[in-house]
Amino acid sequence: MQAAVRVFAERGYHDATVRDIVSAADVAVGTFYFYFPDKETLFVHLYEETADFLIRTIRQAVVNRATLPQQLAMGLQAYVNIAVYEPAVVQLLLVGGVGAVLSLIEKRAVFRENLIAMWQAPLEQAMQKGVIAPQNLRRTAEALAGAFDEVVLNLLGHPNPEAEAGTAVQEMTQFALRAVVYKG
137, 123 Cβ separation under 8 angstroms: yes
Q: Given a cut of 70, is residue 134 above it in pLDDT?
A: yes
- In the predicted model, what is the mean pLDDT of residues 6-34? 92
- In the predicted model, what is the mean pLDDT of residues 50-68? 96
Strand partners, 182: 132
Cα separation, 165 vs 76, in Å, equals 10
In this prediction, residue 97 carries a pLDDT of: 63
Q: Given a cut of 70, is residue 85 above it in pLDDT?
A: yes
In tens, the pLDDT along 96-121 reads 766 767 888 888 899 999 999 999 99
Instruction: Map residue 130 onto helix, strand or coil.
Output: coil
Higher pLDDT, 6 or 126: 126
Cα separation, 149 vs 90, in Å, equals 9
List, in sequence order, the alpha helices (H) in the chain: 2-11, 18-25, 29-35, 39-62, 68-85, 87-91, 105-129, 137-156, 161-179
Cα separation, 86 vs 75, in Å, equals 16
CATH of the domain spanning 39-179, picked from 3.10.20.30, 3.40.50.1240, 1.10.357.10, 1.10.30.50? 1.10.357.10
List, in sequence order, the alpha helices (H) in 27-104: 29-35, 39-62, 68-85, 87-91
Give the confidence band of 32 by pLDDT, cuts at 50, 70, 90.
very high
| Domain extents in the chain | 39-179
Strand partners, 110: none
